[in-house]
Amino acid sequence: MASESPRDRTVVVSAPGKVLLAGGYIVLDRKHTGLVFGLSARIHVLAQQIRTSEGVHLSEIVVQSPQFLNATWRYGYHLVENGGGIKVTQLQSGTPVEPNHFVETTLNYVLSYIAEVDKSQASHGFTPVSLLVLADNDYYSKPKHHRAGERPSSSSSAEDAAHLPPATPLSDPGPQTHHHPHPHPQQQQQHQQPAESETKPARPRFRHFGTTLGDAHKTGLGSSAAIVSALTAALLSHYLPPSAAFDLATPQGKRVLHNLAQVAHCSAQGKIGSGFDVASAVYGSCLYRRFSPALLGAATLPGHGEAGFAAALAGLVNDDDSDREDGAGRKWDCEVRKDRVGLPAGVAIRMCDVDCGTQTVGMVKKVHEWRDANPGLAARAYEGLQGRVDELAQVLKEGKVDEIGRVMGPVREIMRTLGRDCGVPIEPESQEAMLDGLEKVEGVLGSVVPGAGGYDAAAVVMRDDAETEKRVKGFLRQWSMQHEIQVRLMKVRGETEGVRREDVGDFKLWIS
C-alpha cells in the first residue's frame, strides 16, 4: 500500500511579479545593484496527482492554464542516456496546441534535477501530475470591450469562452479539442446562474481572458519569471519526499529553488539577463546584485540532454562543493539584500499599463554598444545612477516620505539622458510628458519608467489613499482621451513577500 494518498501531495505555490523601480541596465553589471519590488500580482501553480482507475497506467504530466483558450500542454518523458537528464515531449492529439517553451524548459530542468537527487524517481517513473497555472488578473489586459464600464455588445471571443463545451476529465487521455480538460469555475458558475439575473456577476479571482496565451496582451509584470519560479517550487514540493529535505520555508529550500529557477529561466529565454525577476519571484523585494554569468557557461553546465548534464545541474543548483561554512566558496555569488528595502506606511508603489502599441526591441544591445564605445562616460552615468538607487532605497526604507520626490527626480533624469546618449527610448517624450503631469497630481510622490523603460509601463509612488487613487485615475483618463492611448492604473502594488505555499483549501474549486 502506498504510504501517501494523492491528496497529501497536492500543493499550491505562488510567486510574485516584479518591478525594477531603479537600476535598469546597471543591474546587468555585477558592480552594481538594482532596487526591485515584488508585486501583489502572483502566479499560482496547483500541483495534484492525476488519479487513474485501477489498472490504468498513465505517465503524463499535464500543464493547464484555464484562463486561456487552447492552453493544455500534455507531456510524456524519458530518461536521456549518459546522464543527459529527463526530456519531456509534448503529446499532440486533436487540435494542435502551440508549444509553451517556458513550461517545457522548466519541466526538463526540474525533472532532471529531481531524478538526480532522488534516484527512486528515475527508476519508478514520476507519478502522473496535473499542474494548473492561475495568474492574477493584472498580468494581462482586459479585452477592449470590457474597459471603462462598457458591456460587450455582441458575441465575442470572451463570450465564446464563457460558453465552451463541457469539460472532459483530466485523466481522460482521449482526443483534445480547444476546450479545457479542467473547466474554468467561471464557466461552471455561469451555467449555474439564473437566466433572469440582472445583477453584475462578481469579478472572478482568476478571470478567463477569452484568447489564447499567445494573443493575450501582457502588462509586463514578469509573467515568465513568476511562472518558472512557481512551477519549479510546485514540482519540487510535490515530488521530493521529506527525506530529500526540500522545504520552501527554509533558506536552503529557497536557495535550491532560486538557483534552479534561474538556470531554467535563462535557458528558456535563450539569454542570461541579470536575473532580478527570478530573484524577486523567489525572495520578494530586495536590493539585488546579479550572479556571475560565467556560472551558467558551458564550462559549468553541459547543454540539456548532453552527457553529464543531470549531475552537473544538481551540483550547480545545490552549490554543495563550497568549502567554507560561511558560503564564501559558493559559486552563486548573487546578493539579495532584503534588509535594505522597505516602504513607508501609507505609501504604495502602483503600476500603470500603457497600451500604445509601440515596441522597444534591442534596447539592452544598444545601451551596451554605447557603453563599450564610451567607457568613461558610461562608468560615470552608471555610478551616478547607483548613487540614486541607494539613496532611493534608503529613503523608502527609513520612511522619509517627504524626500521621495527629491530622490526619484534624478533617477528619471539619468535614465532619460542615458536613453538620449544611446539613441534608445528609455524615457521617451510621450512618457516624460505623462510622468511630469502625473507628478503634479496631489498625493503622487514620484514616478519612473521601470526596468528597461520604453513606452508601455510606468511606476508611481503615491500616497495610499482612495482620494489620491481617484485623482490619479482621473488624470490618466483625461490623458488617455487627449493622447489617443489607453493608460490605466492597475490594481497591482509593490509587496515584499516572495514565493509562498498557499492554503490548498482556498483552491477547492480547482481540485479534481
Ligand X SMILES: Nc1ncnc2c1ncn2[C@@H]1O[C@H](COP(=O)(O)OP(=O)(O)O)[C@@H](O)[C@H]1O
Ligand Y SMILES: C[C@@](O)(CCOP(=O)(O)OP(=O)(O)O)CC(=O)O
Q: Footprint of ligand X on this chain (CB under 6 A)? A: 65, 100-103, 133, 135, 213, 218, 220, 222-225, 227
296 binds ligand Y (CB under 6 A): no
Task: Check if the beta carbon of residue 139 is closer than 8 Å to that of residue 43.
Answer: yes
Nearest to 236 by CA among 312, 100, 129: 129
Backbone angles phi, psi at 419, to 5 degrees: -60, -45
Q: Mark residue 500 as left, alpha or beta (left: phi above 0; alpha: psi -120 to 50; beta: remaining).
A: beta
- What are the b/e assignments for 97-125, b being 16+ CB within 10 Å? beebebbbbbbbbbbbbbbbbbeebbeee
Look up residue 454 and give its DSSP letter.
-
Nearer to ligand Y, 358 or 478 (CB): 358
Q: Which stretch binds ligand Y (CB under 6 A): 53-61, 278-286, 371-379, 446-454?
A: 446-454
Taking CB under 6 A as the criterion, the residue among 20, 122, 234, 351 binding ligand Y is 20
Residues in contact with ligand Y, shown as a per-residue x/- string from 298 to 317 under the rule CB under 6 A: --------------------
Comparison of 224 and 386: residue with beta carbon closer to ligand X = 224
- Tell the smallest beta-carbon distance from residue 296 to ligand X (Å): 17
CB 8 within 8 A of CB 504: no
- 385 sits near ligand Y (criterion: CB under 6 A): no
DSSP summary character for residue 484? T
Which residues does 138 contact at the CB level (< 8 Å), separation at least 6? 17, 41, 219, 221, 351, 490, 491, 492
Judged by beta carbon, residue 40 or residue 121, the one nearer ligand Y is 40
Decide whether 25 or 382 has the Cβ nearer to ligand X.
Answer: 25
Quote the least distance from Cβ 376 to ligand X, whole Å: 33
Cβ-based nearer residue to ligand X, 278 or 389: 278
The stretch among 180-188, 207-215, 448-456, 501-509 that binds ligand Y (CB under 6 A) is 448-456
Judged by beta carbon, residue 140 or residue 246, the one nearer ligand X is 140
**Short-list 219, 180, 215, CA closest to 73:** 180
**DSSP secondary structure letters along 315-344:** HHHHTTT--STTSTT-S---EEESTT----
Least distance (Å) between residue 410 CB and ligand Y: 18
Binding partner of residue 219 among ligand X, ligand Y, none, CB under 5 to 8 Å per kind? none
Tell me the site size for ligand Y, rule CB under 6 A.
14
Nearer to ligand Y by Cβ, of 70 and 259: the residue is 259
Residue nearest ligand Y (C-beta atom): 451
Binding range to ligand Y, per CB under 6 A, among 21-29, 120-128, 440-448, 495-503? 21-29
Rounded-to-integer distance, Cα 278 and Cα 232, Å: 11
- Report CA-CA distances (Å) from 44 to 68, 211, 234, 237, 239: 15, 20, 9, 14, 17
| DSSP secondary structure letter of residue 423 | T
Residue closer to ligand X, measured from CB, 144 or 218: 218
Residue 232 Cα distances to 15, 80, 91, 103, 214, angstroms: 10, 20, 21, 10, 22
C-alpha distances out from residue 252 to 140, 246, 317, Å: 33, 8, 11
Q: Which residues contact 7 (CB under 8 A, 6 or more apart)?
A: none
Stretch that binds ligand Y, among 131-139, 174-182, 450-458, 495-503 (CB under 6 A): 450-458
- In the list ligand X, ligand Y, none, the entry touching 144 (Cβ below 5 to 8 angstroms by class) is none
Our finding on whether 27 is near ligand Y (CB under 6 A) is: yes
CA distance 159 to 213: 17
Q: Which does 27 bind (CB under 5 to 8 A by kind): ligand X, ligand Y, none?
A: ligand Y
Closest CB to ligand X among residues 227, 310: 227
**Does residue 364 interact with ligand Y by CB under 6 A?**
yes
| Coil vs helix vs strand at 355 | strand
Note whether 288 binds ligand Y by CB under 6 A: no
Determine, following the binding rule CB under 6 A, whether residue 143 of this chain makes contact with ligand Y. Answer: no
Residue closer to ligand X by CB (options 39, 341) is 39
Query: Per rule CB under 6 A, is residue 25 in the interface with ligand Y?
Result: yes
Interacting partner of 223 out of ligand X, ligand Y, none (Cβ under 5 to 8 A depending on kind): ligand X
Q: Which does 25 bind (CB under 5 to 8 A by kind): ligand Y, ligand X, none?
A: ligand Y
Shortest Å, Cβ 103 to ligand X: 6
Q: What is the DSSP string of 79-113?
A: EEGGGTEEEEEEE--SS-----HHHHHHHHHHHHH
Residue 494 binds ligand Y, judged by CB under 6 A? no
Give the closest residue to 396 by CA, choosing from 344, 329, 468.
Answer: 344
Kindly give, in sequence order, each residue whose CB lies less than 8 Å from that of residue 271, ignoring residues fewer than 6 positions away: none
Q: Which is nearer to ligand X, 448 or 452 (CB)?
A: 452
Pick the closest to residue 211 from 130, 145, 131 (CA basis): 145
Q: Which of residues 263-282 bind ligand Y (CB under 6 A)?
A: 273-274, 276
Q: C-beta of 220: minimal distance to ligand Y in Å?
A: 5
Beta-carbon contacts of residue 362 (< 8 Å; ≥ 6 apart): none
What is the pattern of x (binds ligand Y, CB under 6 A) and - over residues 218-257?
Answer: --x-x-----------------------------------
What residue 386 binds from ligand Y, ligand X, none (CB within 5 to 8 A, per partner kind)? Answer: none
User: Where do contacts with ligand Y occur on this chain (CB under 6 A)?
Assistant: 20, 24-25, 27-28, 220, 222, 273-274, 276, 364, 450-452
